[in-house]
């Protein structure tokens, strides 16, 4: 999302002094003049903090790893310098992409491609998108032609690479967008395979909501002496988002709490998160039966269907979207007033990404979490991550019958009994790493077509013990 202020068509042409100052600061980026004209034709833009700090670094040609909260305009921070580079003629001949942008989801890939086309309007720069859930043939046709910027999701890109349809000989810039989410989704091996297939002399940029744990490890493998910009940490809360929680005794109690909020008339557009695809479908169906305009969004839907559902929310044909975490990144709807966690996320960091769908562009938002009996451990992890306790609220007539668990409420819990060491878990089919191990994915695996989907399991043969001879 490009967060930039614009001057409307009916507003006076003379800009206020503080906007003139911002315009001068924007011009100090030393972007190509043609790019400045393209930006101005889309409306006057005010750079965000991440854009002001990252763009000069990227223009200098060094590698960069940067973090900022969701909705702060990270996309423009790499799109503008990439377009500036593309306005200079390549030293290498060919038709392959000069810039590759890798994103975790289809929605984010399509959004980034839309931003590129918006800012390159009137310029002779071609861009294309390769994502799953869409036909192969148009993508193959695009790869056979000339493309300057390629935006892709890891899985579909590797499919085309396996068939020899992707040419990286001209590649100059590699961008990992929303890198933390990409790793959370199990694409760590895919990212490494794609990085290994590219020429070494390149500029690599990594943008993420956080720069911690596995993200840092991947950065050390793919980036060369990168500059680092950290505008926020994972524990920093969204200051413009009011965060509250309701204690629910049961699933039926959760349902009543959700219906209360949706029927209150205080919600403009709401995004409700469910744990599973089936759960999202069922919940949306129940809400429609209550005459609430709602629809489900999840990964099993075709790309056209997903686009239609999102457009229905934008246009107001529905006002509640029940989604899995596929919508936690890349969903660009500016006026979502409320995010409701019907099911809390298993990964605490996903809570930050979820609530980041509201309170965008310096507007206020609300995040409501419904905490059932099985959610208290998840809640404690979230509160530890954000560094504070989420405000408890009780609705008249919907009070819980049970109290908050002792450990979750901050009281001293009894020491846990000592457990015997567990055996090492089998490798996850999706991620190719052992459960509970962040380092097990560091060993490179020789690439074979489709190997990102199913990691090889290395089972060691059991040693037979010698039988004891009878006395």
- pLDDT tens-digit series, residues 237-266: 577 789 999 999 999 999 999 999 999 888
Q: What is the mean pLDDT of residues 167-189?
A: 89
Most confident of 49-63, 205-219, 292-306, 345-359: 49-63
- Domains of the chain are 17-230 (3.40.50.300), 241-392 (3.40.50.300)
Q: What average pLDDT does the structure give for the chain? A: 79
Per-residue tokens: 171: 């590649």
* In the chain, % of residues over pLDDT 90: 42
Average pLDDT over residues 11-25: 36
Under 8 Å between Cβ of 127 and 87: no
What values do phi and psi take at 181, rounded to 5?
A: -70, -35
Residue 356 has pLDDT above 90, yes or no: no
Q: What is the mean pLDDT of residues 365-388?
A: 92
d(CA 222, CA 241): 34
If one compares 102 and 210, the residue with the highest pLDDT of the two is 102
Q: Contact at 8 Å (CB) between 193 and 164? A: no
What is the C-alpha to C-alpha distance for residues 367 and 242, in angstroms, rounded to an integer?
Answer: 6
The tally of CA atoms less than 13 A away on the side-chain side of residue 198 is: 28
Listed in sequence order, the DSSP H helices in 65-213 are 74-86, 106-119, 136-144, 154-162, 179-184, 188-196
Q: In the numeric block, which tokens belong to residue 423?
A: 């055996």
β partners of residue 177: 207
Phi-psi region of 186 (alpha: psi -120 to 50; beta: other; left: phi over 0): left
The sheet with strand 270-273 has its strands ordered as 294-297, 320-323, 270-273, 338-341, 365-371, 241-247, 391-392
| pLDDT computed for residue 42 by the predictor | 63
> In degrees to the nearest 10, what's the CA dihedral of 117, 120, 122, 124?
-100
* In the predicted structure, residue 134 carries a pLDDT above the cut 50: yes
CA distances from 396 to 253, 293, 370 (A): 13, 25, 15
Task: Report whether 145 contacts 95 (CB < 8 A).
Answer: yes
Asked whether residue 196 carries a pLDDT value surpassing 60, the answer given is yes
pTM over 0.75: no
Kindly give, in sequence order, each residue whose CB lies less than 8 Å from that of residue 277, ignoring residues fewer than 6 positions away.
296, 298, 299, 300, 324
220: left (phi over 0), alpha (psi -120 to 50) or beta: alpha
Lowest pLDDT segment from 73-77, 81-85, 148-152: 73-77
Instruction: Give the model's pLDDT for residue 202.
Output: 93
**Do 105 and 196 meet the contact criterion of CB atoms below 8 Å apart?**
no
Give the mean pLDDT of 294-303.
86
At residue 230, does pLDDT exceed 90?
no
């Amino acid at each position: 999302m490009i967060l930039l202020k614009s001057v409307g068509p009916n507003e006076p042409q003379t800009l206020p002094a503080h906007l003139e100052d911002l315009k001068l600061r924007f011009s100090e980026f030393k972007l190509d003049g043609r790019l400045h004209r393209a930006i101005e034709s889309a409306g006057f833009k005010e750079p965000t903090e991440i854009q002001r700090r990252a763009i000069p670094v990227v223009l200098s040609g060094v590698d960069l790893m940067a973090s900022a909260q969701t909705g702060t305009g990270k996309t423009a921070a790499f799109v503008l310098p990439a377009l500036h580079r593309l306005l200079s003629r390549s030293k290498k001949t060919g038709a392959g992409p000069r810039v590759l942008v890798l994103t975790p989801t289809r929605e984010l890939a399509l959004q980034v491609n839309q931003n590129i086309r918006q800012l390159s309007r009137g310029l002779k720069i071609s861009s294309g998108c390769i994502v799953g859930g869409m036909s192969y043939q148009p993508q193959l046709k695009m790869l056979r032609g000339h493309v300057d910027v390629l935006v892709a999701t890891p899985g579909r890109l590797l499919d085309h690479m396996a068939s020899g349809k992707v040419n990286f000989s001209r590649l100059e810039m590699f961008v990992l967008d929303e890198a933390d989410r990409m790793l959370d989704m199990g694409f760590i091996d895919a990212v490494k395979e794609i990085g290994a297939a590219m020429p070494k002399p390149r500029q690599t940029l990594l943008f993420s909501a956080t720069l911690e744990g596995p993200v840092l490890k991947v950065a050390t493998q793919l980036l060369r002496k990168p500059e680092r910009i950290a505008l926020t940490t994972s524990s920093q809360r969204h200051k413009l988002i009011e965060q509250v929680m309701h204690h629910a005794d049961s699933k039926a109690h959760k349902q009543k709490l959700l219906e209360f909020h949706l029927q209150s008339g205080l919600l403009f557009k709401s995004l409700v998160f469910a744990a599973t695809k089936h759960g999202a479908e069922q919940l949306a169906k129940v809400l429609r039966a209550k005459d609430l305009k709602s629809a489900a969004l999840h990964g099993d839907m075709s790309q056209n269907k997903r686009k239609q559902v999102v457009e229905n929310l934008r246009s107001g044909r529905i006002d509640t979207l029940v989604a899995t975490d596929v919508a936690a990144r890349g969903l660009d709807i500016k006026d979502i007033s409320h995010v409701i966690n019907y099911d809390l996320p298993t990964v605490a960091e996903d809570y930050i990404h979820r609530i980041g769908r509201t309170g965008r562009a310096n507007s206020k938002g609300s995040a409501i979490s419904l905490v059932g009996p099985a959610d208290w451990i998840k809640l404690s992890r979230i509160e530890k991550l954000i560094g504070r306790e989420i405000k408890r609220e009780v609705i008249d007539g919907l009070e819980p019958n049970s109290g908050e668990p002792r450990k979750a409420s901050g009281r001293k819990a009894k020491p846990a009994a000592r457990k015997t060491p567990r055996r090492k878990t089998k490798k996850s089919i999706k991620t190719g790493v052992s459960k509970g191990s962040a380092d097990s994915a560091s060993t490179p695996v020789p690439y074979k077509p489709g190997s990102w989907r199913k990691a090889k399991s290395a089972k060691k043969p059991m040693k037979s013990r010698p039988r004891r001879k009878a006395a």
